Structure 1
Amino acid sequence: MREARFEALVRLVAGPVQRYLVRRADRDAVDDVLADTMLVLWRRLDDVPGLGDSPLDPDEVLPWCYGVARGCLANARRAEGRRLRLVERLARTTYALPPPAADHAALHEALGTLGELDREIVMLWAWEGLPPRGIAEVTGLTPNAVSIRLHRAKKSLAARLGRKNDVGAGQEQGKEGSEL
């Protein structure tokens, strides 16, 4: 019975959690962090919210699983940091992180100006499609705090990217025949 519950959970969350990790980790680390995440999910299977319900509700299960993946990714980053410090000490050289993708350089630069938590909140909202309640579960904040931080971060990003909030995407202002 435990194996069947775990298999159902993996079928539901493996793809979204892998996409979550691909956006946040080096490609070489994604599979390892995903495996660590699945191991934690197996060990804490009884703690997964909504797992006893049939059918599984992604809105209940995914935020908790993203939180587990976030913790596993943090552990992997700490381990990688320790490994890099050792290599630096041994080789007496420094290593620079690769630059963000060129086609999204402005976005990555703007995201880089946000604090780590605000950046994570924006990415959970934009790329994972989580509502503030789900983001709150992942980050440990209250839904209200998430909403406030998300609003401020979006406003900051819009200003940095030179976009105006009062113009909808794809809408052109001042064209003839566009008035209703």
Structure 2
Amino acid sequence: MDDERPARFEAVYRQTYGRITAYAARRCDSPQDAADVVAETFTVAWRRMDELPPGEEATLWLYGVARRVLANHHRSEARRRARNVGLDVGLDVGLDARMAGLYEDPPDSGVELEAIAQIFRALPGDDRELLSLVAWEGLDRREIATVLGLSRNAVRVKLHRARRRFSRALTEAGIRFTPESRLIPVERSL
């Protein structure tokens, strides 16, 4: 039995490492933070191997673990920033340089993408997470329900509302999408 545990962990690690790393990287401010989140996620997986479900459900379970690790990471970062508020002068040098006219904005499409990113960041955290699980992770409603510990119906309703809020915010910002410019989820590599 002791030989099966490391072998199973290694198999799950090899199968899911890329997806969990991408998940963390898209939600962290630095590659180092993402690496810490991934390491902690797999540490939890090792400690809780008996709870790790078989097959594709393991990936969804790990997304749920990574989500909780990220929440802890973001809370820790917020506390750290609050302690260091007086020391963080100059973090927005690039923004200040742009505002001072030291360099120009990229072409319109880049400006529009930046506006979309700002609108996305302004959404409530739950909306961002739902939309990210669809667009970045390529998960369907059943899989999202597993990751978030919700019913499929709750995910359907929350996802509908998140999409509606995002769409409304884009419309208010004057950003229009045509059927050709639709955001399409990334293909998963298995």
TM-score category, normalised to shorter length: 0.7 to 0.9
1:2–1:117 distance in 2 versus 1, CA, 3 Å: same
The one-character-per-residue Cα deviations of 1:107-161 (angstroms, maximum 9, x if unpaired) are 2122133211111001001110111111112222221111112122223323333
TM superposition shift of 1:94: 6.3
Deviation at 1:75, TM superposition (A): 1.3
CA gap of 1:6–1:107, structure 2 versus 1, over 3 A, is same
Which residue of 2 is the match for residue 159 of structure 1? Answer: 168
Residues 139 and 96 (structure 1), Cα distance of their counterparts in 2 relative to 1, 3 Å cut? farther
State TM-score, norm by structure 2: 0.73
Aligned equivalent of 1:40, options 32, 40, 44: 44
Alpha carbons of 1:87 and 1:114: their partners in 2 closer, same or farther (altered >3 Å)? closer
1:93, CA displacement in angstroms? 5.7
Cα 1:168–1:41, aligned 2, differ >3 Å: closer, same or farther?
same
Aligned to 1:150: 159
Distance 1:126 1:84 in 2: 29
Residue 64 of structure 1 pairs with residue 61 of structure 2: yes
- Report the alpha carbon displacement of residue 96 of structure 1 after superposing the two structures with TM: 6.1
Q: Take 1:49 and 1:125, find their aligned partners in 2: how far apart are those partners? A: 22
Counterpart of 2:78 in 1: which secondary structure?
A: helix
* TM score, norm. by length of structure 1: 0.77
1:22 and 1:126 mapped to 2: Cα distance? 14
Point out where structure 1 has 5 or more consecutive residues left out of the alignment: 51-56, 172-180
Please, which runs of 5 or more residues in structure 2 have no aligned partner? 96-105, 183-190
Q: Is 1:122 matched up with 2:131? A: yes
Pick one of 14, 17, 30 that aligns with 2:17. 14
User: What is the RMSD of the two structures over their aligned residues, measured on CA atoms?
Assistant: 2.5
In the alignment of these two chains, the number of paired residues is 158
Identity %: 39
